[in-house]
Amino acid sequence: MYETVSIRRLQRTVLIHRIVQIQLRQQRLISDTLKGAVFLGYTAFILISPPATFVLSTAFFCFIVTVITSLQCFSFAVHKGMASRTAA
C-alpha cells in the first residue's frame, strides 16, 4: 500500500515537472519571437527613414535595450512564479 502511494506521488511530481518545463519552453519561444519582431521592426524603420544616423542609432539602441530588459524581467517573473507554484 505504501509503495503504491509513493509511486503515484512520484508520477504526479514528474508530470507536474514536465508541464512546467513545457510552459517555460512556450514562454521562451514567445519571448524570443517578440524580441526578433521588435528588432526587425526597428531595423526596417531605420532603413526607410531619412539619414539622420546619430539620432536614429541612439533611438534604436535605447529602445532595443528597453524592450529586451523588460522581456527579461517578465521572463524572470514568470519563471519565479512557476517555481513558487510548483514548490507549494
Q: What is the model's pTM? A: 0.50
d(CA 84, CA 59): 38
Give the pLDDT confidence score for residue 42 in this predicted structure. 74
Kindly report, residue by residue over 18-70, the tens digit of the pLDDT: 888 888 888 888 888 887 887 788 777 777 767 767 777 777 778 878 878 88
Q: How confident is the model at residue 87 (pLDDT cuts 50, 70, 90)?
A: low
Give the pLDDT confidence score for residue 11 in this predicted structure. 78
d(CA 88, CA 80): 12
Contact indicator for 58, 79 with CB cutoff of 8 Å: no
Q: How confident is the model at residue 5 (pLDDT cuts 50, 70, 90)?
A: low
